Structure 1
Amino acid sequence: MAPPLSRRSFLAGGTGAIGLAALAACGTSTPDSSSNPSPSGPPKRGGTLRVGSIGGTKDTLDAHFSSTDMDQQRSQNLYDSLMYLSSELPYHLEFALAESIELNADATVATVRLRQGVEFHHGKTLTADDLIFTVRRILNPDNYGRAKTALAAVNPNDLKKIDDRTVQFNLITPDSMFPKRWGSATTSILPTDYDPANPVGTGPFKYKSFTPGARSVFVRNPNYWLEGQPYLDEVHIITFADNTSRTAALLAGQVDAIDGVDPTVLAQIGSSSKFETMITKSGFYQPITMRVDLAPFNDVRVRQAFRLMVDRPAMVKQAYSGYAEIANDMPNPADPAYPTLPQRVQDIDQAKSLLKAAGLEGMTVTLTTTPENGGLVNSAQVFAQQAAAAGVTVKIENLSPTAYDAKFKDWPFTNGYWAASVIGLSYSGRFLKGGGANDSHWDDPAGDAIYRDLLKTTDPALQKELGGKLFQRFYEMGPDIVHTFKNNLDVYSKNLTGFTPFNSNGWSLGAWRYRLVSFK
């Protein structure tokens, strides 16, 4: 998360330059998705969708504290934020609960106008008081929400209610990204009487029941603000601890869809005429992350040595069965600021030389992973094999999702999964000191200064220049081995329609937007 802040599914908000409520998409082309099925025929009403997902007993329905894909999935259906991501690349947002968001020229005052006539599940009308309550809940110093760092420029005690639908935000520091920080479930708008035990939102489905580690049941919201949606009567999100049991449930007809599928699962499904496979191409990535506050990864020579151990083409083939693209140790390739730098390739001799200079020849390290997202365990194993050529022993610690997620920022050497974003947004959560998703404990004062300058300007050219400098710092000394950009794979019954690849940031099952799904 999403960001992060939602972990791995993290997104802090959006992208690009914004002035006076202009919401312009960045200019890149959409990857080829011709292999994916397209919705056909008018949607029909009724039916229960059953989705099988990897999760654990620490799952939550409270969007402000969501931390996994499964949390994100539930939040996408229970709640809405001020904005929502479209399915396009690279990262285009549209208004959801906001009617408009206006920034002044120096990005220090934001005025939010709420959509009229939106109702929460229990009948309360959405008002400015709910927005103010939401912001103060996220920024509560006694229990910060995941979006704390994304909304760091907001002073919760300096929110001015203009009228019942309008709130003025007087920002502590300039934030040109403010309007697009509201596309994440972690910024979901909650009512002033919100009760986490009986959660209420404005989303397409309403809470019916929830057993962490087992099942979530949601029912259709008949008063959803997007007219005519959703089409389904119910959604059941069923938790599985591993891919084996989840795949068996799909083949047995016990679930209708599974998300974030490991490529090896496709062989088990085979050429069955019962299922569709959807391929989502984006900058979704599964970095191998090194904690820079601990030895040995506090030494940049060690971090660069580990990057040079990776045979990236082999990683694409062996870990992802070809469903990935080669990356270059920087995230967010659709960002206009993404630089063209020499492609890093495997160089075992140079890796050995750097480790020798650091006094760490023949070192041993534990890589902690989990089967939570298709490809994590496979890529960890492939990396361990490749590192052996440099004389490095990598021991794989494969934990359950519950055990792994509980301490995801504690592991010294690990791999995770993160949705595509842009640097002006992902920096606050993943790379700013104290960021809710800063699993590498990255602390770069020079980079932070560049980031603050980026937030001061709404000039796209200057934002691109500053963003490029941040990318270069990651390339030269960053905490992540970004070896590939993964294609997300989902499998669902051919009796369903409405799923489309969410190429905007790589989320599974069309960003889990079940309001668009129906049975044929």
Structure 2
Amino acid sequence: MKHQRKPAIDRGLDRRQFMNAAMATGMTAAAASALWTRTAHAAPSHGGHVTVGTDGGASVDTLDPIKAIGTDHVTMAALCCFDALTELQADGTPVGSLAESWGTSTDGRTWTFKLREAEFHNGKTVTADDVVWSLNRHLSDDNTYAEGKQIVGSLEELKSDGPDTVVMVQREVNFDLPVHLSAFGLLIGPEETTDWERGVGSGPYVLEEFTPGVRFSGHKYENFYRDAQGCFDSVELLNIEDASSRASALLSGSADVISQPDARTAGLLGSTDGVSLLEAPGTQHYTTAMRTDVDPFTDNHIRLAVKYGIRRQEIVDKVFGGFGYVGNDHPIGRSQQFFNTDLPQRQYDPDKAAWHLKEAGLDRIALKLKASDGAFGGSVDMGVLMAESMAPAGIDVTVDRVPGDGYWSEVWLVAPWCCVYWNGRPTIDWMLTSAYISTSSWNDTYFTNERFDSLLTAARSEPDQALRRDMYFELQEILNMEGGTTVIAFASSLIGASDALGHGEISGNRRMDDGRLARRWWFVA
């Protein structure tokens, strides 16, 4: 039976009353919300059926880790069934998942990971051989998951040392390896698995049904090894592309929690009894990708004309409801280490945009921008605002709204210009390696720059932090001035949730509590 939604938790004050009382004492809303989390939701309880409304699903989705794409619906489904070696806390610190502990050699190249005692859903004990086999699959020709190939490919040697120990030797020193091993596609299954769609992993939930792009359901695995995760008896993940439909599902009680409510109307959820709007600041950012290998975007003057033609703050305010800040055409957020504080924020300048257009030999140009709710809610509206702001510069933009199903397989990486969202990465190297180095299959602008590639590789193992800072500053400047990505906004991850749900500090590393909401949350007893 579905756990009944409650108007408030049974602790004297409901959330709204608690928040009002706390803010009346002068506490900020963020501080009051954090205090509510610590006091009211601190003790996980077990039981109940949770229904999650999310988006991003497609009929081509698969649970096979070497084809991971990172959209919300299928990522949450995979993380219900499977484990990685590590996961990240809200502050980005790596903690063990299947790995119980780890250590490194004095030179930083050799890492040893000790595994927990864990069991796959078929009853088989998780061994080091399973880990080695699962990770090595990312080196196969069938791999389409760029990060997996990059992370595993950075290892000179990967081997088991007994049944519960995995040894990794890096080609180059990278002390962020435990962070990288938390990647959403580096999931572990039994050695020689042939049918990943059965979801046989070591995660908290046993797959009952997975209809790609539609629905996932699962029940608690009785031998799951972590008492503090997997608190629900059963989980249902519904793919609901339309943001207003997700909000309606939450308000009607047909969903207990939803991803990414429409930022423009999200405040209404916070004023509804029994429902809360939760904000997790992070590195999520919204972009458009101009393919630098396809005309007219082969000309950097055209790319700069587009970049100067965007009223970014207007988009933050009108599309993202003010839940964020403007981007500066590189993917590193203000709170991240090595964020380039010297790089001027690009401002809207239609005259400068027109000048770059003339430098390209044009007075006017017509461009088509593909957008879809399948990319992200509000992408069409963002495109319309961009078209309005670019017109005075002589850039005539047509917004081509396309279906959500298949967007990430048929539009992204294919269309000359399209809307994109990225869950950021905890480290600058991880983000730039995933999406901007020329060898990455997720380089959605097909940007190629020898200086960029060599500098990124050198910065990864540079021990002098001042020099490393200078390298990363230059990398951001290269993307700002030459790249094919317009990074328009960094926006908080928003969650609409019943007050009947409890949780710890919410991670903004990825949407939906790092994709692990169904593992980490619970119903308040």
TM range (shorter): 0.7 to 0.9
Structure 2 counterpart of 1:87: 90
Distance 2:503 2:177 in 1: 31
Q: CA deviation at 1:413?
A: 0.8
Structure 1 counterpart of 2:207: 207
Distance 1:170 1:510, change over 3 A: closer
Choose the corresponding residue for 2:501, options 496, 505, 517.
496
Structure 2 counterpart of 1:508: 512
Q: CA deviation at 1:221?
A: 2.3
Distance 2:267 2:464 in 1: 49
Q: Which amino acid aligns with 2:120?
A: F
Q: CA deviation at 1:95?
A: 2.4
Distance 1:105 1:43, change over 3 A: closer
1:446 aligns with 2:451: yes
Structure 2 counterpart of 1:344: 346
Alignment of 1:31-42 (within 5 A): 33-34=30-31, 36=33, 38-39=36-37, 40-41=40-41, 42=43
Equivalent pair of 2:59/2:406 in contact (CA under 8 Å):
no
- The structure whose RCO (Cα within 8 Å, separation 6+) is larger is 1
| CA deviations over 1:162-187 (Å, ceiling 9, x no partner) | 22222333444554443321111111
Alignment of 1:409-428 (within 5 A): 409-421=413-425, 422-428=427-433
Distance 2:207 2:403 in 1: 27
Q: Which amino acid aligns with 1:435?
A: S
Q: Which amino acid aligns with 1:376?
A: S
Structure 1 counterpart of 2:52: 51
| CA deviations over 1:374-430 (Å, ceiling 9, x no partner) | 332332222121111212111112222223111211121112111222221112220
Secondary structure (helix, strand or coil) at the match of 2:54 reads strand
Structure 2 counterpart of 1:322: 322
Structure 1: which 5+ runs fail to align?
Answer: 1-30
Distance 1:444 1:432, change over 3 A: same
TM-score by length of 2: 0.86
TM-score by length of 1: 0.87
Choose the corresponding residue for 1:390, options 393, 398, 404.
393
Greater Cα offset, 372-381 or 425-434: 372-381
Q: CA deviation at 1:134?
A: 1.1
Secondary structure (helix, strand or coil) at the match of 2:348 reads coil
Secondary structure (helix, strand or coil) at the match of 1:119 reads coil
Choose the corresponding residue for 1:437, options 436, 442, 464.
442
Q: Which amino acid aligns with 1:508?
A: M
Distance 1:350 1:228 in 2: 55
Report which of the two has the higher share of helix: 2
Choose the corresponding residue for 2:471, options 463, 466, 474.
466
Distance 1:141 1:106 in 2: 32
Distance 1:167 1:46, change over 3 A: closer
Distance 1:382 1:282, change over 3 A: same
User: Which of 1 and 2 has greater Rg?
Assistant: 2
Distance 1:35 1:295 in 2: 52
Distance 1:380 1:494, change over 3 A: same
Distance 1:467 1:105, change over 3 A: farther
Distance 1:237 1:388, change over 3 A: same
| CA deviations over 1:209-237 (Å, ceiling 9, x no partner) | 11112210011123222234322101100
Equivalent pair of 1:99/1:113 in contact (CA under 8 Å):
yes
Distance 1:78 1:36, change over 3 A: farther
Structure 2 counterpart of 1:380: 383
Greater Cα offset, 339-348 or 323-332: 323-332
Distance 1:462 1:166 in 2: 36
Q: Which amino acid aligns with 2:429?
A: G
Q: Which amino acid aligns with 2:64?
A: D
Distance 1:190 1:387 in 2: 49
Equivalent pair of 1:311/1:386 in contact (CA under 8 Å):
yes
Structure 2 counterpart of 1:12: none
Distance 2:188 2:239 in 1: 26
Distance 1:160 1:269, change over 3 A: closer
Structure 2 counterpart of 1:313: 313
Distance 1:36 1:448 in 2: 42
Choose the corresponding residue for 2:79, options 70, 76, 79.
76
Distance 1:161 1:366 in 2: 51
| CA deviations over 1:413-455 (Å, ceiling 9, x no partner) | 1121112222211122201223132111111111111111122
Structure 2 counterpart of 1:190: 189
Equivalent pair of 2:267/2:277 in contact (CA under 8 Å):
no
Distance 1:513 1:481 in 2: 30
Structure 2: which 5+ runs fail to align?
Answer: 1-27
Alignment of 1:231-270 (within 5 A): 231-266=231-266, 269=269
Choose the corresponding residue for 1:353, options 352, 355, 365.
355
1:152 aligns with 2:156: no
| CA deviations over 1:132-164 (Å, ceiling 9, x no partner) | 101221111244544112332225xx4333222
Q: CA deviation at 1:59?
A: 2.2
Q: CA deviation at 1:459?
A: 4.6
Greater Cα offset, 375-384 or 268-277: 268-277
Choose the corresponding residue for 1:364, options 363, 366, 383.
366
Q: CA deviation at 1:115?
A: 2.2
| CA deviations over 1:28-51 (Å, ceiling 9, x no partner) | xxx984474643153332111101
Alignment of 1:142-181 (within 5 A): 142-143=142-143, 145-146=145-146, 147-155=148-156, 158-181=157-180
Distance 1:518 1:284, change over 3 A: same
Distance 1:378 1:103, change over 3 A: farther
Secondary structure (helix, strand or coil) at the match of 1:508 reads helix
Structure 1 counterpart of 2:9: none
Q: Which amino acid aligns with 1:416?
A: V
Distance 1:489 1:459 in 2: 38
Q: Which amino acid aligns with 2:416?
A: P
Distance 1:519 1:327, change over 3 A: same
Distance 1:317 1:269, change over 3 A: same
**Percent identity (aligned):** 26
Distance 2:378 2:87 in 1: 27
Secondary structure (helix, strand or coil) at the match of 1:190 reads coil
1:403 aligns with 2:406: yes
Equivalent pair of 1:369/1:376 in contact (CA under 8 Å):
yes
Structure 2 counterpart of 1:62: 64
Equivalent pair of 2:60/2:406 in contact (CA under 8 Å):
no
Alignment of 1:117-136 (within 5 A): 117-136=117-136
Secondary structure (helix, strand or coil) at the match of 2:203 reads coil
- Output the aligned Cα RMSD: 2.3
